[in-house]
Amino acid sequence: MPNASVLEMKQAQVQALSEKLSEAVTGVLVDYTGINVADDTALRKELRENGVQYNVIKNSIIKRAIEGTPVEEMSSVLEGNTAVALSDNDYTAAARILCKYAENHENFKIKSGFLDGKVVDLATIESLAKLPSKEVLLATVCSVFQAPIAAFARAVQAIVDKDDSAAAE
């Protein structure tokens, strides 16, 4: 039986992970077997720059953290090496970065994931990965709103230019 301090530390880890999972809008579980330190460091840097928390966590800690939650069915994939990527505000970042990484590293595998507290299949994770980033989507929406206004402004300017050229003659 573990001593009290070890047990207390593990309970704190479970509690912290439970809180992170409940705050996250999206999460992805991966098997990181076979990646080297340089690749892992680059992956972690890219995830961090995109606001994604990425941690290697023992399967037993993850199992206890997801017990009794809507994402409990992810416990079926908790075998081997597991890392958890969580994002609090960007729905696509974790999936986009990890799926791109998995394409280039055959041993790195996506295990499971969740979206808004519901477990999703691998096809959904891959679909999320194909979506553009939040910034690109916002820029697209802004350009759609801006296009009619810009066209109207050009039309008004053309009328003004036509009137100016007619008055000059």
**What is the CATH superfamily name and number for domain 4-131?**
Ribosomal protein L10, N-terminal RNA-binding domain (3.30.70.1730)
Number of residues written out for the chain? 169
- Give a three-class secondary structure readout of 119-161: EECHHHHHHHHHCCCHHHHHHHHHHHHHHHHHHHHHHHHHHHH
Domain boundaries, the chain: 4-131, 132-169
pTM of the model: 0.73
Q: What is the pLDDT of residues 2-30, one digit of tens each?
A: 678 888 888 888 888 888 888 888 889 99
Q: What is the pLDDT of residues 48-93, one digit of tens each?
A: 998 899 999 888 888 888 888 888 888 888 888 889 999 888 888 8
Task: Report the candidate in 158, 157, 102, 97 with the shortest Cα–Cα distance to residue 133.
Answer: 97
pLDDT at 165: 63
